[in-house]
Chains A and B, each alone.
Chain A
Amino acid sequence: MSAAIVGIGATEFSKDSGRSELQLAAEAVRAALADAGLSPSDVDGLVTFAMDANAEIAVAREVGIPSLTFFSRIAYGGGAACATVQQAAMAVATGAAEVVVCYRALNERSGHRFGQVSVAAATAPTSSGVDNGWHYPMGLGTPAATVAMAARRYMHEFGATSADFGRVAVADRRHAATNPNAWFYGRPITLDDHQASRWIAEPLRLLDCCQESDGAVAIVVTSLERARDLAQRPAVVRAAAQGSGPDQYVMTSYYRDDLTGLPEMGVVGRQLWRQAGMGPSDVDVAVLYDHFTPYVLMQLEELGFCERGAAKDFIADGAIELGGRLPVNPHGGQLGEAYIHGMNGIAEAVRQVRGTAVNQVAGAAHVLVTAGTGVPTSGLILAPG
C-alpha cells in the first residue's frame, strides 16, 4: 500500500444534533480537509457506507467539490468502516482518484435508531429480506438480540460470564472518562454498575450495548507521496482488508459449525498480518469495534491476541486498559465516545499514530482498527509515515 490518511474531521458527538445528516456530513468533510491542509477542489473521490443517507453527489455539492472521478459505497452496516479507507487507498493506488474522502454521518439517536426492530429490513424484496425472514418474524430482530444468541453459546462453551463482558465496558468507559470529546466524558463505571444494569437481550445488559449517537466523521486519503507535502504527519495505511466467512449472514450466521468465533474477522486478520508483515504481538494499540462487548472478546481470539476461549483471561488483569499489555479503544470506543459506525475509531487510530490523542499510548508504531462484527467486515493497520 502506498496510501496514507492525511486528514480527519468530525462534528461534535451528541444525542440530538439539531441538523440534517447531510449538514453533519458536509461539516465533517470540510473539517477533515482543513485538517489535511487541502481544499474542496483537491478532492476527486468520495466513499461512504451503503447505509449512509447522504449521496456522494449531495455531499460534493454542499462542500463545493467540483468534480468526482471515483465514488463508491460499502455494504453491511458497520462492517464498512475500514473498507471505506481500503476503497480510497485502492482508488489512489490505481490512479482512479488522487484525494478521496471517506465519510459517515448519522442522526442515529435523534433520527433512525438501529437498535429498534427494522420492519424495512425484514420486508425488503431482496435476498437479505429473505434471510431476515428466518429471524425477524420469530422475534429476533434487534442487533443486541442477534449478538446475544452467539454470546450465550460462547458463555456455554468457554465458561465466560456477564462480568467478563462487563470488563470491556469498564475499560471503554474508563478511557472515555478522560476524553473531552466523548459522550461519557467524566463518567466512568465500575463492574458493579455493569452487573446492576438491566437486561436488554439476555445475556446482554444495557452496559454491554454501545450508545446511540448523532454525529459525523470524515477521513482524507491520498498517496503517500502527496502526503509528505501536507499539513499533518501521515498515517500510513500499512494494511487494509475486507472479509466475509463461510455461510455468512448479516448478524445471524447461526448455521455454521461453530457459533463462538467471527471467521469473517479471521479472514480480515490474516490479510492484515500478511500485508503488514507483522503479527498480533507487534500491535501497540487496538481500536476494536465494540457495538456489543462479547464481540470484543471474540475479536481478540479471532485476531490471534490469545487462544480461542481465553479472552476472558487475557483481559482479566486490565490488559486492555491504558497501561495494559494491549490498550484497546483509548478514546472510549463506541460504548464510551460515540457510535459513528466505527469511523470515530479510525480517527482515533490516526491520532495515536500522530501522537496527538488525549489518551496517547507512548510510541504507538502500529495501530490496528477493526470494523463491525457479526457482519462482513474490514480492518486496517496504520503506522506513522
Chain B
Amino acid sequence: MSRILEETDRLKALGWCGERVARDPVNQPMINNWVEAMGDTHPAYREGLAPPAMVQVWTMRGLHPAPQPDDPLHAMSAVLDEAGFTSVVATNCEQTYHRALKVGELLTVRSRLSDVVGPKKTSLGVGWFVTTESTWFSGEEPVATMLFRILKYQPRPQAAAASPITPVVSRDTAFFWEGTAAGQLRIQRCEACGRLRHPPGPMCPACGATSMGFVVSEGAGTVYSYVVHHHPPVPGKRLPFVVALVELPEGVRVLGEFLGESVEIGRPVRCTFVRVGGFHLPAWEAAA
C-alpha cells in the first residue's frame, strides 16, 4: 500500500508527460472510415470537419504500439498489478471539445496522473480508482481534454457468470413473446370454442381446432406456489431468489420470478416484465 502511495506521489509530481504526436494529421479518409462504421450521417463530417468524439482516435498508439514508459497510466498500472490489483475496468470518460477540428491539423497529446483513490470495496472486488487527464494540442493551442478513470481491482474468486437462459420460441408460442415485448401478458384463446390455455400450443385440447388467438390478461393474480432457490447458482440470477407460480382469474397459471420482499401462497401479485437476452420475461411483484 505504501508503494502505491509513493508511486502516486512520484507520478503526480511529474505533471504533464507522455507526449505523443499523431501518426497522421486529421484527414478525410479516416473520418470517412469512422462515420461509415458508426453509421453517422452528419453532413459536415463529409466536408472536412472531424467528429468531436474522434479526437482520441488521432493519437491512438496503433497496431504496433511503441513502449511508452513515461505514460502515467501505464506506470501506475504496473505498480497496482504488482500489488495484486490485476484486473481493470474503465468507469468514466469525460471529453471536452474546445473547438472543432479540421482536416490538415496535426495533434499532439500529453497526459498526467490526477488522482489515485483506494482501496475501495466495489461490486467487482477491492480496488483503486486511477484518474488521468489528457490534453490535445494543435500546435500550441489546446483543443480538447479528457478525464479518464479506471478501476484496478483484485478479482473476487467466483464462477464466471454464465449467460442467462432465454426461451426457445416456436410458431405456436411466438405470439406470447411478441406480447411481452409490447408489455402484454397474452393468454392463448381457442378461436373455435373460446378456451383459454397457458402454456399455449398449436391445437385446442378441448375441441381440436387449430385456429388460435389470444386475450390480454389484466396481469393480476395470486401466488399458487413458490420456490426459494438457494443452490446451485443459476445463470443470470443472484441467490437466493424466488420463483412463483401464479394463478390468474382467467383460469390459467403463469410462472415467473417474484421480485417482491415476502412471498406466500395466496398473496396478490401483479405482472411485470424483465428484460433478459433480448426477451421480456413475465415476472411478479407484490400488488399494492
Contact = CB atoms under 8 A, between A and B. Distances in A.
Query: A and B touching (C-beta < 8 Å)?
Result: yes
Interface of A: 115-117, 119, 122-127, 129-142, 145, 148-150, 152-153, 156, 198-202, 252, 254-255, 259
30 contacts: A116-B232, A123-B165, A127-B170, A130-B168, A130-B170, A130-B172, A130-B173, A131-B199, A132-B167, A132-B168, A134-B167, A134-B255, A139-B237, A139-B241, A140-B227, A140-B229, A140-B255, A145-B227, A149-B226, A152-B225, A152-B265, A156-B265, A199-B228, A201-B228, A201-B229, A202-B228, A252-B255, A254-B255, A255-B253, A259-B245
B235 A117 contact: yes
Contact of B230 (A124, A136, A199): A199
A197 to B, nearest CB: 11
Given A136-B167, A202-B229, 8 more contacts: A123-B166, A129-B168, A130-B168, A140-B227, A140-B255, A149-B226, A199-B230, A202-B227
A133 B230 CA distance: 21
A42 B201 CA distance: 47
Given A123-B168, A130-B169, A137-B167, A150 B225 contact: yes
Contacts of B240: 199, 202
A137 B281 contact: yes
A255 B199 contact: yes
B161 to A, nearest CB: 13
A136 B167 CA distance: 8
A91 to B, nearest CB: 33
Contacts of B283: 138
A134 B257 CA distance: 11
Contact of B225 (A117, A125, A137, A153): A153
Contact of A153 (B235, B237, B255, B265): B265
- Shortest Cβ-Cβ A-B pairs, 9 listed: A133-B167, A202-B228, A129-B168, A153-B225, A148-B227, A199-B230, A122-B165, A140-B243, A152-B225
Contacts of B167: 130, 132-134, 136-137
B243 A149 contact: yes
B38 interface: no
Nearest to A132: B168
A135 B283 CA distance: 11
A124 B234 CA distance: 18
A136 B253 CA distance: 16
Contact of A200 (B165, B231, B253): B231
Contacts of B241: 139
Interface string B128-169: 000000000000000000000000000000000010111111
B243 A134 contact: no
B198 interface: yes
B27 to A, nearest CB: 47
B175 interface: no
B225 A259 contact: yes
Contacts of B229: 139-140, 142, 145, 201-202
Contact of B168 (A133, A255, A259): A133
B252 interface: yes
B267 to A, nearest CB: 12
B230 A198 contact: yes
B257 to A, nearest CB: 5
A149 B282 CA distance: 18
A11 to B, nearest CB: 26
B contact residues, range: 35 or more
Contacts of B173: 130, 133
B221 interface: no
B279 interface: yes
Contacts of A127: 170
A145 to B, nearest CB: 5
A54 B166 CA distance: 30
B276 interface: yes
Given A125-B168, A130-B169, A153-B265, A119 B162 contact: yes
B231 A199 contact: yes
Contacts of B279: 137
A116 B231 CA distance: 9
A197 B253 CA distance: 32
Contacts of B230: 198-202
B256 interface: yes
A115 B283 CA distance: 24
Contacts of A134: 167, 199, 255
Contacts of A130: 167-170, 172-173
A4 to B, nearest CB: 40
A160 to B, nearest CB: 13
Contacts of B34: none
Contacts of A201: 227-231
A259 B226 CA distance: 12
A145 B242 CA distance: 10
A117 B265 contact: no
Contact of B257 (A138, A198, A252, A259): A138
Nearest to A117: B234
B45 interface: no
A84 to B, nearest CB: 29
Nearest to A127: B170
Interface in B177-208: 198-199
B255 A135 contact: yes
Nearest to A254: B245
A142 B229 CA distance: 9
A141 B234 contact: yes
Nearest to A136: B165
A199 B232 CA distance: 10
A115 B226 CA distance: 19
A259 B257 CA distance: 19
A117 B165 contact: yes
Contact of A255 (B166, B252, B265): B252
A133 B282 CA distance: 12
